[in-house]
Amino acid sequence: MRAYSFAAAAHGSVKQLRKYTGEPYIVHPVAVAEIVKSVPHTPEMIVAALLHDTVEDTPATFEDIEEEFGPRVAGLVRWLTDVSKPSDGNRAARKALDLAHIAQAPPEAKTIKLADLIDNTSTIKERDPDFWRVYRHEKLRLLEVLKDGDATLWARAAAQCEP
């Protein structure tokens, strides 16, 4: 509950809404956590799933997360946070940097990333077919480096990319 409250407050502080639906952003981290709960997981993985976008999208810092939830959760969130910045180049260049980062992550972080991809794909594929073509290519590249995440989630994420 503390992680949910932290994430809801962080995303709410910037009035972040879910793209395409306009729902409060917290629905996405909750969906990611629910997907992670469906496979073998640790409590830290569930907390990190709820917090996975806070540093990237809100004023929250890794230090805030470590202070509130400990170093293991902060470490997972660090792996799940994009390292690229707009100054790193175009989308392809930025996504290559982020791919190299997540490729080095532990299996627990990769499992959360797979859950994130699954939830994002369901929305993008249904509501933005033009962007889906770009996102699908990026997702296929990510799947190559996420194989040591949970096998069930990997298969589910891969199946979403089938024509």
Instruction: Domain ranges for the chain, please list them.
Output: 2-159
The residue ranges of the chain whose pLDDT is under 50 are none
Q: Which residue's structure tokens are 């077919």?
A: 129
Which among 72, 70, 33 has a CA at the least distance from the CA of 51? 33
Q: Which residues participate in catalysis according to the annotation?
A: 56-57
Cβ distance 157 to 139 under 8 Å? Answer: yes
| Per-residue pLDDT tens over the stretch 19-56 | 999 999 999 999 999 999 999 999 999 999 999 999 99
Instruction: State residue 163's pLDDT score.
Output: 79
Q: What is the architecture of the domain spanning 2-159?
A: Orthogonal Bundle (1.10)
What is this structure's pTM?
0.96
- Tell me the CB-side half-sphere exposure of residue 62, using CA atoms within 13 A: 12
